[in-house]
Structure 1
Amino acid sequence: MKKFTHHRMARSFKNSCRKQKVHWRFQRVIDLFYQLLLPLIIFQLIRTLLLPTTFDVIILTIFVLLYILYWHS
């Protein structure tokens, strides 16, 4: 009788749920973008506080959401 091992099923489920790996060059481009995003957020925040327009608020919101999504994943 073959012994049932729970860990095989759990390991295969874990591997299927893992997010796809990104090529290391593309990952470096993504990291560079997010490294530049924080100064852009600060600049956009100052600009929005001094001269608030609808466009500035929308851009600031998009930047902040992108930054939160990056750190959440």
Structure 2
Amino acid sequence: MKKKFNQYTFQSWMKTIKGICKQLIIPFAIFQGIRTILIPTTFDVLLLAIFILIALAFYFEWF
């Protein structure tokens, strides 16, 4: 049976990690976007897509 997590019952260290990720994902995505434009490789494009998906997840509060 899968247990659902309530964001209000997270431990304090987990809230801290989530806050740090929220602050750092946009600069990482911008850096990766610039890097992808200058030297496009398959890995760079996939990493940029992952960063964008994570940023959207934080924006729309999917997790």
What is residue 15 of structure 1 aligned with on the other side?
none
- In 2: Cα distance, 1:58 partner to 1:33 partner: 19
Among candidates 42, 46, 52, match of residue 30 of structure 2? 42
Aligned: 1:59 with 2:47: yes
Normalised to the residue count of structure 1, the TM-score between the two structures is 0.68
Where has structure 1 moved over 3 Å in runs of 4 or more? none
What whole-Å deviation, never above 9, does each CA across 1:17-72 have from its counterpart, x for those lacking one? xx613223211111101211111111000000011110000000000000101111
Paired residue for 1:31? 19
Q: Runs of 5+ in structure 1 lacking a partner?
A: 1-18
Higher relative contact order (CA 8 A, sep 6+): 2
Number of paired residues?
Answer: 55
TM-score (norm 2): 0.78
Q: Which runs of 5+ in 2 are unaligned?
A: none
Larger Rg: 1
Task: Give the Cα separation in 1 of the matches to 2:25 and 2:58.
Answer: 11
Q: Say what the alpha-carbon RMSD is for the aligned residues.
A: 1.2
